[in-house]
Every structure is written in C-alpha cells, then in structure tokens.
A and B are shown apart, each in its own frame.
Chain A
C-alpha cells in the first residue's frame, strides 16, 4: 500500500487535517496550536506549498507581515486519499490470519 510521503510526515499530516476543518488559518494559529517552532513550521509549510497542497497568501497588517494558509482542492483530495489508504492498511492488518492449507485436501 502506497501512502503520500509528504502527507505522511506527522506534523504535516496534522497541519493538513487542521486546515481541512477550516477555511483559512494564519501562521501564528498553526504555530501555537501545533506547538512547533517557527522555523520548523515554516519548513513544513514550504513543502506543502511546493506540493500544491496549500495556498499561501501574504499581506500586511499595518507594518506587520501576515501569512494565511488555505487547503487547495488538490490538497483536500490528497488528504482524503491518504486517509482512505491508511484505512485500507489498517483493515488489512486487522484481518484474521488465513488458516494453513492442510496437505492431502
């Protein structure tokens, strides 16, 4: 079973899952909610943006820079596919082992 490696990273999975329940969130919200350092979060967001999973909008609140993030349609679809894939893996794992084939049957 193949899973999207970009999404599979724990912090990025959580970022995308949070964004899937929201319209838009800013950098500060994600940083405090996830408890990540700014540098680490920034690195994750760069990767997600490059993958086309999130849309970044930069603006200014007066003189203070402000960055908003939004899940793209592709990001939403890939995240849904990821969870479906993971469910499939879990289902396989939870299946009872097949009984051994007896000789002479």
Chain B
C-alpha cells in the first residue's frame, strides 16, 4: 500500500483544512429541512386558528353542521400535530422532501449532524419542559395582571434567548441558528426601551408574538440557506482546483 512517490497530487491542492472546513460549513447551513418545518408549523398554526374559529362559530350558532365541522377540524388537528411530532412520520417525510428539493446536490451532514452522533441529554428535555412551564407562568401572570401585556415578548425572550443559544451550541448548528435568538433578544430590548415596534391595535396584539417568533425564524433560515450556496461554491472551487479527471481510476493507479 505504501509507496515511494513524488509529491504529485498536492502541490496544486488547496489547504486541506480549508476543504474540510467549507464542507462542514456547507453541511451546517443546509436549512431547507428547517424551512419545511417552518412551513409546517405556520400551516399548523393557521389550522389551529381555523379550528378555534370553527369552535367559536359552532358554540354560538348551535348549528349541527358547524359542530360536525368543528369535530372534524379537531380530529384533523390532532392527526396533523401527531404527524409533525412523531419523527418516524413527519421527520421521515421532511427528510424526503428536503432531499427532493436539494435534488442532484445530494446529501451531506456535518459531524454530529446526522442524528446518530448526538443524543439529547436529560438537561435538554428538562430545558424543553421548562420552556413550556415558563410560558404557562407568563400566561398566568398576564391573566392575573401581574405582567403588563406589552411585556409578553420580553418576558418570553428572557428564557428563549439563552435556551436557543444553548441548543444551537449543543446541536452544533451553523451560525445562522444564532440569528434568531439574537434578533429576538434585540426585539425585546427595543420594546423595553419603548421603541414603537409593537402592534398597538387590540385585534392585532397576538402579532407581537407571532411576527418576532416566525419572522426572525424565517430570516435566520434564509440567511443560512444563502450561506450554504456560498459555502458549496467555495467548496467546489477548492476541490476542483488542480483536479483533472482521469478516464478510469484504476488506470491512474496502474500508471
């Protein structure tokens, strides 16, 4: 296997650490699966809002047709949520859709990113439960008028920002994943400083949470995707530098 050979291949070859680095950067910024998840969550949100609307309509009208529609909507909502939460169903489908979108570009996962190397530790589960409990506490504080409604987003940011930064680090995601907590945190600071970035109309109050959560999420995902295009371009340029394809790999070795 070992042979005395001159320095044949590597003089025109870029620094190997650069190739490995850009390969990793590309893989860490493949955000199409996150974009599909984002779309699913938004659709789920719209679906839940529609079911709530139907329920109110059925309750008020006492019409059998509306009640049946409402029941069907609730069943559909439960099925949709189960599909999304169970990795074997939703996760597999999201993976396949992502693969279809990436097409000939193929699949690459960063070190620890294929889902086999990282096992969620118990603190991740505890922090996730804490996230839900914290926001439930927020709802109770608002309901009890202990927390002014306009501070809902800053209250949420107090937990969400460190939580998502910790998750980004432990899951070894690309830099794009830091964008969301940073923007969400900045949004909270601006609200606390009194900068007029809130929806003041009572009917639009819910948008003060929805827009930062989903809007900054979409920004982060799109930035990651654009960076992955650049990283792939750099990777191809580095890899193809000085590489002349031989007719057959075997003939190359025999020469």
Whether B5 contacts A29 by the Cβ 8 Å rule is: no
CA distance in complex: A9, B255 (Å): 11
A21-B21, A51-B1 given. 4 additional CB < 8 A pairs?
A14-B243, A22-B108, A23-B117, A68-B107
Q: Is A40 an interface residue (CB 8 A)?
A: yes
CA distance in complex: A96, B20 (Å): 32
Query: B residues engaging A (CB < 8 A)?
Result: 1-5, 7-10, 13, 16, 19-24, 27, 96, 99, 104-114, 116-117, 232, 235-236, 239-240, 242-250, 252-253
Whether A22 contacts B111 by the Cβ 8 Å rule is: yes
Whether A25 contacts B243 by the Cβ 8 Å rule is: no
Contact of B239 (CB < 8 Å), options: A14, A51, A83: A14
Contact of B111 (CB < 8 Å), options: A11, A14, A23, A61: A23
CA distance in complex: A80, B46 (Å): 52
Q: Is A77 an interface residue (CB 8 A)?
A: no
Whether A27 contacts B111 by the Cβ 8 Å rule is: no
Contacts of A24 in B (CB 8 A): 107-109, 114
**Minimal Cβ-Cβ distance residue in A for B235:** A33
Measured CB to CB, the closest approach of chain B to A30, in angstroms, equals 7
Q: Which 8 A-B pairs have the closest CB atoms?
A: A29-B106, A28-B106, A21-B20, A21-B23, A43-B249, A10-B9, A21-B24, A5-B3
Contacts of A19 in B (CB 8 A): 23
**Minimal Cβ-Cβ distance residue in A for B117:** A23
Measured CB to CB, the closest approach of chain A to B242, in angstroms, equals 7
Count of inter-chain pairs, beta carbons less than 8 A = 142
Contact of A33 (CB < 8 Å), options: B10, B99, B232: B232
Contacts of B248 in A (CB 8 A): 39-40, 43
Number of interface residues of A (CB under 8 A): 48
Query: A residues engaging B (CB < 8 A)?
Result: 1-6, 8-14, 17-37, 39-40, 43-44, 47, 51, 61-62, 68, 83, 86, 89-90, 93
Whether B5 contacts A3 by the Cβ 8 Å rule is: yes
A-B pairs with beta carbons under 8 Å apart, 20 shown = A8-B8, A9-B253, A10-B9, A10-B13, A11-B245, A13-B9, A14-B239, A18-B239, A21-B110, A22-B109, A23-B110, A28-B105, A28-B107, A32-B105, A34-B239, A39-B248, A40-B245, A68-B107, A83-B16, A86-B10
Contacts of B20 in A (CB 8 A): 17-18, 20-21
CA distance in complex: A101, B114 (Å): 60
Contact of B19 (CB < 8 Å), options: A6, A10, A21, A68: A21
Contacts of A14 in B (CB 8 A): 13, 19, 239, 243
Measured CB to CB, the closest approach of chain B to A92, in angstroms, equals 10
Measured CB to CB, the closest approach of chain B to A17, in angstroms, equals 5
CA distance in complex: A90, B11 (Å): 10
Contacts of B111 in A (CB 8 A): 21-23
Whether B106 contacts A31 by the Cβ 8 Å rule is: yes
CA distance in complex: A14, B250 (Å): 16
Whether A17 contacts B106 by the Cβ 8 Å rule is: no
CA distance in complex: A21, B105 (Å): 17
Measured CB to CB, the closest approach of chain A to B190, in angstroms, equals 38
